Structure 1
């Protein structure tokens, strides 16, 4: 088995050749068909998050992420073998040879949160590609068949991002669903933003105004159906947002998550509006605290999504024929190059590694 591992933070990924593992217990062995390269992978590779205000960065080592680690949490693979403890009822509609999307946001499986169906919120996570080895490899072990969702003919490369950018934006959009009759403002027209645009339309939303500093990404958003776009660095960005919205702005989804985007997102909201922060770019909030109660604004974080939402998303993609975001396929051996291109902001849509 060939994999590319983070052996040291910020160092080039290490190519590793080892014996292909065999599934034990309830595990499933898959042959990786596609592995998305996500912005969260950059944070893992770099080793932490900027918390702003001079605070010590949030170290991933302190969060229990140990090296060496095979990243990759947007993975699609072909089922090769089931572990000896897998029962026919566990397999559902999965059989050897089927292609499945890996749900990576796995928890302990035992706490009340996990048993309630929200493993992504577990306090002792075992997320694949984050805490456990993921899809930057030609083979991968999945802990249980329930974490493999049958693609039933969907394309592996364009479907892989649904495991993170897809379910992340779907879950965030559900949090502002009550405002779908008005334009939503979204920050970040990268892979997440383009995904959110297509899903918003499929979910019956009026549309979104996309905000991004990159002209090429704004252009991509317009081609993907954005109602309008705005450069946040423009001196009149706030006025542009108000004019292009054509009325009070009631919902903002920030897919970037830095001090500038959260401030502009906060400022453009009307009374009773909602700011949902998804992005992990980093920094500290700059809001004037009295304005939070004065404007009665809700500020909510949104972290990926649960297994149920991921299945809902795949069903939505099939029934509404949601168009995929732009995908650039690269061989697994180009994993390092893909990370650097993402770091430099040179990726439109998503890069997907194809072993």
Structure 2
């Protein structure tokens, strides 16, 4: 689209396409929009790559499962239709507002999508991802299933360094979510074990990140034989099928009572129950997955085992900057990736929802 480079923009033909749904669980349709002109601190980027994430599936479905047939309706959480998904975005700057002095046309950048109001106490302490009035890209604001995307301020744009731009898009959610969760279980002693439940894209990134951080006692747990094999190649010391009758016994033999941390990338009743069962005294269960259900745990055990149950939702801008530096120093992103054209966004969401994806799908514009 862009052909004429100017001081603060690349001239376009005046329209672009976003893939959006106008009702929850509806089809992703291409819709033409007038090209926005960035104002103030805004930055307009051409989307180069956008990862397809399980969060996209939940937002598309329109609910989280709460157990016993109950659902949390995402429309009640402030998500307004139509929605353009996509929060794992790498793009190239094509235009900037008059106040966006820290952004230049032609720069390729990774976007931090977990944007808050910027004014509340949560945002002021640097936790915009937990803001009560979120403006997250791909959820509350138009995301990367699009030819172009608008970012409200240059501070949300990160230099990739030497990273592969396609795979680097995964750092905005998959990588950041695993990185932030791992920070919550540290420090660990050399003999202590980390249990990774769910070995899809996030679980694989977690294993690689743990190994890069010097943690080698990793047990990967998944019902899929293919994903267990990938987890083994990623660096897991032991892989287990949780459906096996002796899964917990095998884990106990391997870890010898030293299961200090569980990272649950599934987040259903069975995985949380498994995680709490195998933790040692003083251990930490970090729940990242959103497959849903209810938490049931005897309160006396919570006290006598002194376990900590932590919910972990994405990560902060500071953590993402730290992650990009870490990823440039370590081989985190060598996971199975399939590149698909942006036009195939709907099939990508369907395949992920139906469990047909072993690694990650990245849309290319």
TM-score (norm 1): 0.96
Aligned residue runs from structure 1 range 242-257, under 5 A = 242-257=252-267
Aligned to 2:212: 202
Aligned to 1:218: 228
Give yes or no for contact 2:116–2:129 (8 Å, CA) kept in 1. yes
Give yes or no for contact 2:208–2:331 (8 Å, CA) kept in 1. no
Q: Any gaps of 5 or more consecutive residues in structure 1? A: none
- Alpha-carbon offset, residue 208 of structure 1: 1.4
Select which of 118, 134, 139 maps to 1:125.
134
Query: Is the deviation greater in 179-188 or in 226-235?
Result: 179-188
Query: Residue 251 of structure 2 aligns to a residue in which SS?
Result: helix
**In structure 2, C-alpha distance between the alignment counterparts of 1:84 and 1:254, rounded to whole Å:** 44
**In structure 2, C-alpha distance between the alignment counterparts of 1:51 and 1:343, rounded to whole Å:** 18
Query: Residue 281 of structure 1 aligns to a residue in which SS?
Result: coil
Query: Residue 353 of structure 1 aligns to a residue in which SS?
Result: strand
Aligned to 1:29: 44
Aligned to 2:17: 2
- Alpha-carbon offset, residue 27 of structure 1: 0.7
TM-score (norm 2): 0.93
**In structure 2, C-alpha distance between the alignment counterparts of 1:159 and 1:211, rounded to whole Å:** 26
Matched, 1:171 2:180: yes
Alignment root-mean-square deviation, CA: 1.2
Deviations 1:158-209 (A, max 9, x none): 0111000101000000011122522200101001001101111122222411
Aligned residue runs from structure 1 range 185-334, under 5 A = 185-334=195-344
Aligned to 1:145: 154
Aligned to 2:4: none
**In structure 1, C-alpha distance between the alignment counterparts of 2:93 and 2:340, rounded to whole Å:** 22
Deviations 1:104-148 (A, max 9, x none): 001000112112111111111111101110000011001100001
Q: Any gaps of 5 or more consecutive residues in structure 2? A: 1-15
- Alpha-carbon offset, residue 79 of structure 1: 0.9
Query: Residue 62 of structure 1 aligns to a residue in which SS?
Result: helix
**In structure 1, C-alpha distance between the alignment counterparts of 2:332 and 2:141, rounded to whole Å:** 31
Once superposed, which parts of structure 1, at least 4 consecutive aligned residues long, lie more than 4 Å away? none
Question: Structure 1's 207 and 80: CA in aligned 2 closer, same or farther, altered over 3 A?
Answer: farther
